[in-house]
Amino acid sequence: MMIEDLQKISDAERAEAQKYEHHVHVCMETACIASRSDQVKQALTEAAERAGKPCRVKGVGCMGLCSAGPLVKVEPDGTMYKGVTPEDADEIVQKLGDSPVSRLECDTNVPFFQRQVKIVLENSGEIDPERIEDYVARDGYLALYTALTTMTPSEVIAQVAKSGLRGRGGAGFSTGLKWTTVAKSPGERKFVICNADEGDPGAFMDRSVLEGDPHAILEGMTIAGYAVGASQGYIYVRAEYPLAVERLKIAIRQAKRLGVLGENICGTTFSFNVDIRLGAGAFVCGEETALIASIEGRMGQPRPRPPYPAEHGLWGYPTLINNVESYANIVPIMRKGADWFSAIGTEKSKGTKVFALTGCIENTGLIEVPMGISLREIVFDIGGGIPDGKKFKAVQTGGPSGGCIPEEHLDMPVDFESLLQIGSFMGSGGMIVMDETSNMVDVAKYFMEFCMTESCGKCVPCRVGTAQMYDLLDKLTKNEATMADLQLLERLCDVVKYTSLCGLGQGAPNPVLSTLRYFRHEYLARIQEANHEAAFLTD
Amino acid sequence: MSKVRLATVWLDGCSGCHMSFLDMDERLIELADRIELVYSPLVDPKEFPDSVDVTLVEGAVSSNEDLEKIRHIRKHTKILVSLGDCAVTANVPSMRNSFRVGEVLDRAYIENASTQQQIPNVSVPTLLRQVLPVHSVVPVDVFVPGCPPSADTIHYAITELLEGRTPDLSDRSRFGA
Amino acid sequence: MKQPSSRIKTLKIDGQDVGAHEDETVLEVARENGIFIPTLCELEGLSPHGGCRLCLVEVKGINKLLPACVTYVEEGMEVTTNSTRLQEYRRTILELIFSEGNHICSVCVANGHCDLQSLAQKLGMYHVSVPYRHPRRSVDASHERFALDRNRCILCTRCVRVCDEIEGAHTWDVSGRGIEAHIVTDLNQPWGESETCTSCGKCVNVCPTGALFEKGKAVAEMAKKRGFLPYLTLMREKRTR
Amino acid sequence: MLRNYKKPAPPSDDKRWRLVEATMRRHGHDPNALIEVLHTVQESFGYLEEEALQFVAASLSVPLSRVYGVATFYHFFNLKPQGEHSCVVCMGTACYIKGSGAIVEAIEQEFGVKPGETTPDNKFSLLSARCLGSCGLAPAAVLDNSVAGKLEPQQVVERIREWTK
């Protein structure tokens, strides 16, 4: 595999595309397929054949507005159609090059599309994720080739460090620093792991990236492998994401065939393989030491850190663990440079962040925005506000370790530090909007139930503490709790937060603490309305 | 100097703590100089007095009658002492808590009864969903664990309280002994 | 066995200057110097577990609490083992343990010989302020000589580790997760039917509570003999040298 | 490991064991491959039966209790056979906010099964998932392997009614 070969594929692919006057992109992601987009694609292909139009129909990754699926985009004019059914196919094809089918048209001249900045999602919705040629035609694997042939591993790390990229899995640890530690840690073998165990309820950023642009992850991981000196990578992905797994398998096969993965990549002495490991329904495996235990075939129980996986990871070897979105940033950084990347975002949080915007909001879907954008812009401009004339109440970020942010903090910029300051957490990118009808004690109970059932059971505070806190919240929602119960709840929040072994337990009290901080009156109302006798009565 | 008004009550327990109390033997006579026992299974009065300085509670809260009693006592007591494991932890009576009340009654009065299989329901208190330690129903000031606490421990706890101190039980008593 | 080549570090524990080998944990050094740090899952001779969280200590300059059993000494470290905050956390953790199972000391075979019971006394935990959960848990008395009462199990995994690491049978493991977690033998069949159990009794003796006990022992009769553990560990190390 | 230790034979001549053996071979019978192998067993047989666990334990040289521990730690694995049809209701935050609880309740009421349970006639299993990642379609569920979104309780109940006729 040489640069000429990449160029040849790219040229051929572009030439093939030139043959068609019209390009019809159909979203082929889990959510749109659930709304029959596979049938829409089939119908469009047949309609194009029947009409004999110079038109190419292709399945692509997420185009963002998942609630309006199936989405179809027509290029070169950029018309977007929403809620397309197979029955609409003929009409869409008929109108190609003419005025669009107005009843299906989805206005893209709105903040939802205009305010986004696409780095991670640059290929989503553009390429066919099951064809490596399409990826190559958009300069795919060029960054890898350049890194391998013109840069030393430490130069690669320097570029990542200079970009200011911070881990997108939640805590925001400096990616460059992590890579440096792994590179410097002595070990006869090293490993690179991609954490695709996206377990936060209400988050699907990683699934979309894996389904829509799997080669970007492979390329990012391979560059990382070169930088830290690893020859084996693992993608740990949830078994609940069968389509992502399938696309990754296809991508790995194609990349190997092309010589951009496997032995002697791009004709160099560097070899790197990637295997997929399936999760099996345990949220705690998102924690890196638990994830490692799971890849090793054991129960996903975290162990105390230090030692950190960067020094003592998979089978005791130095191991680099980044999440999907972090790896997806690597290729653009390598291709366009650290300065370009660090010009986006805020002083301490560079680049963009992908969010899964869901809940009580007009535009549900996947968005990518520059760091530093305000929550208000996300919720009211991009998200289109709250439907049915209801009032905004809170937005929840950071999943089960995160918090509920009230109206008063909506103007705060979205970055790692600001979110922590107001008692929430960046997390992996789930953003759930709640309207006035949501009860915050119920919300806190929902997340506590999640943490309780996902606790691995290894350490006492998390195992028993989450169960006790859940019981207290249950009592509150049943209007049976007393002030003493609330005080006990607050005491347990403190103990569990500071004594639990891993992030799951340490973060478990956050939804309670943040709702207590901003919506304490809702807890007090439950206590005032309570019938304290009910708790004692005979069953 | 007026005597300290002391009460002892017996909720759901085996009366072992009261036996241990009596095991103070001759020290009871010394205490009698400083204490007036105003209410107790050991003395005559049937009504809990309006104003009591210290109440020792033996036993867990098992029935609606226990519940009413302990609330009344709390209202009229300055210092409430949970005496013994049943009061402190709900102990042996709480072993029924893993089961539903109906299951327990069935087992006791139907399945294991050879004659007159019938769950008593006339002039007996209603059982609560769970047997509870005293402090989960009303605030408790002093905890004296033990099954039962020894006479020495009880004597120590009472004399400390008489001196106006909070008894430190670290070397004297533990759960189960 | 400390390697002679290992370097010496100096640190402060509770204001006291102490010296230690670099491969020692804070817990080991504290013990050598007569400083008490409570533990439950830890047992000398078994691999560390880090689950009970009772040995958490404060280290100056680190805003997280660290488990002494797996935290290695570092030069100039300043460790606090017994602040008011730590004492309160430890009491609450003990309360959580007591609330989780059905620990009725007065009728337990291990009454008077129980690590959990004596720690409660030592740390001044006189009552449990969190509600008791009263789970319905099973008892396995199918083994000829021993029995398991899951009501008294605190999931310290000492039995799992001793069976795996010392006896080499790995008969025990933890099944399920979170509040539902419990220990099982083999594929969750009755203990007496386990094909891998050698009936050595090590698990019974390392169990900190009355969860694992010898049949025929009445209340307060189940004293545990643990002398074998350091002995076996030492003999093994000698042999592999 | 014993050098001459012979790998055990499959519990029966069911052809599906070949798939399981293939996975084990691909991983060189490495104990680390336990979870991967259990995935294959469940894919092939629908659940993890006891003899399968025994076979996997012996083949990979993993202690029985560890196999059982892993099989019960991960909620994706079933130790009991599932019904002919299944409905996995998403209980992710977005679905929860949009009323997936009501869907579960409606199914519970109509068919008398709670999440994780199967109807006595083995026709239908109700399951719940942490998050299907289809939040844009909240509330969502997987009805016999295909994702369906923006569901109403009654709609799901009717679909299941067809299965359980």
Q: Please report the DSSP string for C170-213 in residue order.
A: --EEEES-GGG-EEEETTT--GGG-SS-----HHHHH-SSSSEE
With touching defined as 3 or more inter-chain CB pairs under 8 Å, the answer for chains C and B is yes
Taking the C-alpha atoms of residue A269 and residue A263, their distance in angstroms, rounded to an integer, is 8
- A488 in the same domain as A369: no
Residue type, A454: E
Q: Is the pLDDT of residue C2 over 60?
A: no
- A263 in the same domain as A178: yes
Whether residue A473 lies inside any domain: the answer is yes
With touching defined as 3 or more inter-chain CB pairs under 8 Å, the answer for chains D and C is yes
Beta-strand relationship, D117-118 and A319-323:
unpaired
Question: Can you give the residue ranges of every domain in chain D?
Answer: 16-73, 85-164
Q: Is the pLDDT of residue B59 over 80?
A: yes
C63: distance to nearest CA of chain A, Å? Answer: 10
| pLDDT at residue number C241 | 59
State the span(s) of chain C assigned CATH 3.10.20.740: 8-82
Taking the C-alpha atoms of residue A424 and residue A421, their distance in angstroms, rounded to an integer, is 7
**What architecture is domain C90-240?**
2-Layer Sandwich (3.30)
Residue type, A56: R
Q: Is the pLDDT of residue A110 over 70?
A: yes
CA distances from B28 to B3, B31, B79, B158, D161 (A): 14, 5, 20, 11, 75
Q: Is the pLDDT of residue B1 over 70?
A: no
pLDDT digits (tens, 9 = 90+) for A458-507: 999 999 999 999 999 999 999 999 999 999 999 999 999 999 999 999 99
CA angle D117, D36, A316 (to 5 degrees): 125
pLDDT average, residue stretch B70-84: 97
Q: Is the pLDDT of residue B133 over 60?
A: yes
State the span(s) of chain C assigned CATH 3.30.70.20: 90-240
Task: Compute the mean pLDDT over every residue in chain C, rounded to the nearest whole number.
Answer: 94
| pLDDT at residue number A69 | 82
Taking the C-alpha atoms of residue A27 and residue A50, their distance in angstroms, rounded to an integer, is 22
| pLDDT at residue number B7 | 97
Bond into B125 cis (ω within 30): no
Residues of A at the C interface, defined by Cβ within 8 angstroms:
282, 299, 303-304, 452-461, 463-468, 471, 488, 491-492, 495, 498-501
Task: Compute the mean pLDDT over every residue in chain B, rounded to the nearest whole number.
Answer: 94
D49: distance to nearest CA of chain A, Å? Answer: 17
User: Across the interface, do B92 and C106 touch by the CB < 8 Å criterion?
Assistant: yes
| pLDDT at residue number D5 | 61
High-pLDDT (> 90) share of chain A, %: 82
Bond into A307 cis (ω within 30): yes
pLDDT digits (tens, 9 = 90+) for A57-76: 999 999 989 888 899 999 88
**Cβ distance D7 to D28 under 8 Å?**
no
Q: Which residues of D touch C185 (CB under 8 A)?
A: 65
Supply B164's token pair.
Answer: 């106006």
- The neighbours of chain C, by the rule of 3 or more Cβ pairs under 8 Å, are A, B, D
Helix A205-212 and helix A242-258, axial crossing angle in degrees, nearest 10: 40
Domain interval for residue A426: 352-435
- A144 in the same domain as A282: yes
pLDDT average, residue stretch A178-200: 95
| pLDDT at residue number D1 | 47
**What architecture is domain C8-82?**
Roll (3.10)
Asked which of A417, A435, A453 is the last residue of a domain, the reply is: A435
| pLDDT at residue number D133 | 75
ipTM higher than the 0.90 cut: yes
Q: Give the closest residue to A167 by CA, choosing from A303, A324, A48, A287.
A: A324
Taking the C-alpha atoms of residue A253 and residue A246, their distance in angstroms, rounded to an integer, is 11
**φ and ψ at A249, to 5 degrees?**
-60, -45
- In terms of CA atoms, which chain B residue is nearest residue C110? B176
**Cβ distance A291 to A236 under 8 Å?**
yes
- pTM of the predicted protein model: 0.94
Asked which of A409, A435, A461 is the last residue of a domain, the reply is: A435
* Interfacial B residues in 63-102 facing C (CB < 8 Å): 82, 85, 88-92, 94-95, 97-99
pLDDT average, residue stretch B109-122: 89
- In terms of CA atoms, which chain C residue is nearest residue B129? C134
Backbone conformation region of residue A354, classed left if phi is above 0, alpha if psi is from -120 to 50, else beta: beta
Asked which of A386, A409, A435 is the last residue of a domain, the reply is: A435
Q: Is the pLDDT of residue A97 over 90?
A: no
Residue type, D137: L
Whether residue A129 lies inside any domain: the answer is no
| pLDDT at residue number C35 | 97
Tell me the domains of chain B and their CATH numbers. 4-93+130-162 (3.40.50.700)
Q: Is the pLDDT of residue A201 over 90?
A: no
Q: Which residues of C touch B91 (CB under 8 A)?
A: 104, 106
Q: Which residues of C touch D73 (CB under 8 A)?
A: 174-177
pLDDT digits (tens, 9 = 90+) for A34-49: 889 999 999 999 999 9
pLDDT digits (tens, 9 = 90+) for C119-168: 999 999 999 999 999 999 999 999 999 999 999 999 999 999 999 999 99
**Cβ distance A481 to A511 under 8 Å?**
no
- In terms of CA atoms, which chain C residue is nearest residue D48? C187
Q: Which residues of chain D fall below pLDDT 50? A: 1-2
Give the contacts of C50 (CB within 8 A, at least 6 positions apart). A303, A304, A458, A459, A501, C41, C67, C69, C70
Q: Quick count: other Cβ atoms within 10 Å of Cβ C56? A: 25
pLDDT digits (tens, 9 = 90+) for A402-425: 999 999 999 999 999 999 898 888
* Interfacial A residues in 306-325 facing D (CB < 8 Å): 315
Whether residue A116 lies inside any domain: the answer is no
Supply A432's token pair.
Answer: 């759930």
Q: Is the pLDDT of residue B122 over 50?
A: yes
Beta-strand relationship, D124-129 and D85-90:
parallel
C107: distance to nearest CA of chain B, Å? Answer: 8
Whether residue A12 lies inside any domain: the answer is no
High-pLDDT (> 70) share of chain A, %: 99
CB pairs under 8 A between A and B: 18
D151: distance to nearest CA of chain C, Å? Answer: 31
β-pair partners for A11: none
Q: Which residues of A touch C133 (CB under 8 A)?
A: 464, 467-468, 471
User: Across the interface, do B98 and C124 touch by the CB < 8 Å criterion?
Assistant: no
- D85-164: CATH topology is Glutaredoxin (3.40.30)
Beta-strand relationship, C78-80 and C56-59:
antiparallel
| pLDDT at residue number C1 | 46
Residues of C at the D interface, defined by Cβ within 8 angstroms:
160, 164, 169-177, 184-188, 195-196
| CB proximity B104 to C under 8 Å | no
pLDDT digits (tens, 9 = 90+) for B10-41: 999 999 999 999 999 999 999 999 999 999 99
- A71 in the same domain as A41: yes
**φ and ψ at D87, to 5 degrees?**
-130, 115
